[in-house]
Amino acid sequence: MQRSQATKKKLAKALKELAKTKPLDKISIQCLTDACGLNRQTFYYHFTDIYQLVEWIFLTEALEDMPWDGSPGSWQMGLRHILEYSQENRSLCLAVYRSGQIESLIRFFDNVIYGMLLALVKSMTRDEAVPEDDLQEIAHFFSPALREYVFAWVRRGMTPSPAELIRRLEVMFNGVLEHALERSRRQAHLDKENDWEEHNGEQNRTQ
């Protein structure tokens, strides 16, 4: 297992170096394996193509030591960690984005952002009657918007700073999630009342 991880890390390091000077679609498997002293067969033992390696890099390195515990204030720290990782690995992130093959980036950001938002709305509704399905819908609704906001930041050359980007997000998000949760609470209460009235109506009809 350790040997396998070491091989993957060697491939990842070589890819990040090559991405500093070449577009992603110009980096062949042969070029990559030559750069780190491995052979093509070794690469294909671990990954099907370059983009699967990219996804592995994001899912392992970017999430390493993630300072996010699901508490209301930790989503900012978690997102800042991801943005700072993106800046530190600017060449690779921009190479992936400019390649047009951004499915790995989309999956990565969607999974991370959705997880953050779901944990956040759950932490905001402890001991309150908000259906789990509603919490998931709220997280699903806002996740693509936040991801596209991050992608716009990438297109701008990763400016402004992660701290400033998060400050702007906090301004935009202020009260928005609370409003969505309040509407969900009200709807859940109305649904419960309607169910109760319908149940009583059926009982009265059968008497």
d(CA 147, CA 132): 22
Domain with CATH 1.10.10 in the chain: 1-47
* Fold (topology level) of 1-47: Arc Repressor Mutant, subunit A (1.10.10)
Specify the pLDDT at position 148. Answer: 93
Q: What is the pLDDT of residues 95-135, one digit of tens each?
A: 999 998 888 888 888 888 998 888 888 888 876 678 889 99
Domain 51-206 has CATH 1.10.1740.10: no
Specify the pLDDT at position 198. Answer: 62
pTM for the whole structure: 0.80
Domain with CATH 1.10.357.10 in the chain: 51-206
- Burial profile 171-201: b = 16 or more Cβ within 10 angstroms, e = fewer: eebeeebeebbeebbeeeeeeeeeeeeeeee
Question: In the predicted model, is pLDDT for residue 202 greater than 70?
Answer: no
